[in-house]
Amino acid sequence: MAPLSVIFLLMIHGVSSADWGVSYSPSRICALKDSTVIMRCTYTYPTGHQIMKAFWTKGPVRGEEPPDLSNDPEYSQRLQYLGDKQQNCTVSLSHVTLKDSRMYYFRFITDITGGKYTGYTGLTLNVTDLQVESPERVTEGDSVTLTCKSSCALTDRATFIWYRNSLKILTESNFSNKLSLNPVRREDSGRYSCAVDGHTHISPAVQLNVMSTGCLVILYASVGVVCGAAVIITMVLIWVIKWMKKRNDTPKSQMSQSRNHYEKREACEELDQPV
């Protein structure tokens, strides 16, 4: 009966496992490289406890005390705890890199023995850069679309900026991650890059070459001339080879005819001699 009494008393004082918890919102974040990420969370614990330590960690191992990211040289200068020692456990991480992509966990310790808890559901952070997807060569008059791509869908609403040869492009669609050039012109040739407004990261530039229809005709004509010349040269080489072969075979044929004539003549002379 004693154990039931203890459980009943614990429930009265609010010391049940259901009172321990960490909630991440959102639980998945896609952030742009070099940006500052806000990882929001709240936590709960039984009444009567006082928070002694609250911190974020990565890759916790059950049974081992996880490390505090604020003591990690890779994070200490970029991590700022925005929460408190009551319910808010929000933290910010600045200048994120692709290496920061992983799961993060919040952990807190109270003043009562055994009062430790880690939110093992965790928060997943994906850090992405930007890449411009574009056809390498197009013809004047074509409809061309360039796309500013990321490895994941950015969590925060993004306004895209487009550049040609490092100069900002002002078009109706420059706030989208797609840049439409319809119809594309010769002067649209250049190196294109993209960025997100309010961020320092800019994608690597990609070259777009626009050929005029006149150049295309000249190219086709040039290809035709080269192909025609190749055919003529091939035919001449074949004729030369055949002629040289025939020339080399002619002396052998004449020698063979002369030898046969000489042998026939000798045979006739031997027959004409008296016995």
Does 228 fall in a domain?
no
Both 106 and 193 in one domain: the answer is no
Report pLDDT digits (tens) over 74-87: 999 999 999 999 99
Both 23 and 121 in one domain: the answer is yes
Both 23 and 118 in one domain: the answer is yes
DSSP string, 213-237: HHHHHHHHHHHHHHHHHHHHHHHHH
What tokens appear for 77 in the block? 């200068």
Predicted TM-score (pTM) of this structure:
0.69
Does 222 fall in a domain?
no
**Total domains present in the chain:** 2
Both 103 and 144 in one domain: the answer is no
Q: Which domain holds residue 182?
A: 131-214
Does 241 fall in a domain?
no
Both 145 and 90 in one domain: the answer is no
Q: Where are the beta strands (DSSP E) in 59-201?
A: 79-81, 91-93, 102-110, 116-118, 123-128, 131-133, 137-139, 144-149, 160-164, 167-168, 178-181, 190-196
- Choosing from 187, 214, 241, the residue where a domain stops is 214
Higher pLDDT, 190 or 274: 190
**At 170, which CATH number?**
2.60.40.10
Both 24 and 119 in one domain: the answer is yes
Does 273 fall in a domain?
no
Task: Give the pLDDT of residue 171.
Answer: 66
Report pLDDT digits (tens) over 221-247: 444 444 455 657 777 778 677 767 776
- Choosing from 181, 214, 247, the residue where a domain stops is 214
For the cut 80, the answer to whether the pLDDT of residue 16 exceeds it is no
Both 98 and 154 in one domain: the answer is no
Both 93 and 185 in one domain: the answer is no
Both 155 and 63 in one domain: the answer is no
Both 114 and 48 in one domain: the answer is yes
Does 255 fall in a domain?
no
Q: At 5, which helix (H) or strand (E)?
A: helix 2-12
User: In percent, how much of the chain has pLDDT > 70?
Assistant: 74
Q: At 39, which helix (H) or strand (E)?
A: strand 37-39
Both 140 and 91 in one domain: the answer is no
Report pLDDT digits (tens) over 54-70: 999 998 777 788 999 99
Both 93 and 192 in one domain: the answer is no
Task: Give the pLDDT of residue 213.
Answer: 79
For the cut 70, the answer to whether the pLDDT of residue 262 exceeds it is no
- Choosing from 214, 235, 268, the residue where a domain stops is 214
Task: Give the pLDDT of residue 237.
Answer: 78
Does 248 fall in a domain?
no
